[in-house]
Amino acid sequence: MNPNKEREWTLTECCTGKGENYKGCGKVLLLSVDDIFISKSNLQEFSYTFRCPHCGVFTSIPNWHLPKFVRRKAIEKFNVRSFSHTKV
């Protein structure tokens, strides 16, 4: 994997709260690979997720929006963090 590819990758997504409560703030965000992680919902479903820096709401992203190296990095982070949505 080219480290420059990871640094250069971005995704534009809207804060919707999809997968949590659908009460996102609607801000359009430019996400990097470090913003994406895996979360586990109350229904025991796993999803690729980001947390809005403006309102703190979690939004799920369809896995087909993410390249393989981003999904892989999110899985690595998941293996070392808590299984729940814990606000920091």
Distance of CA 48 to the CA centre of its chain: 5
Model pLDDT for residues 28-84, shown as the tens digit of each residue = 999 999 999 998 766 667 899 999 999 999 999 998 999 999 999 998 888 765 544
pLDDT at position 88 over 50: no
pTM: 0.77
Report residue 6: phi and psi, to 5°.
-65, -45
Using an 8 Å Cβ cutoff, are 51 and 69 in contact? no
Structure tokens at 84: 């729940």
Under a CB-based contact definition with an 8 Å cutoff, are residues 62 and 40 in contact?
no
Length of the chain: 88
Distance from the Cα of residue 38 to its chain's centroid: 6
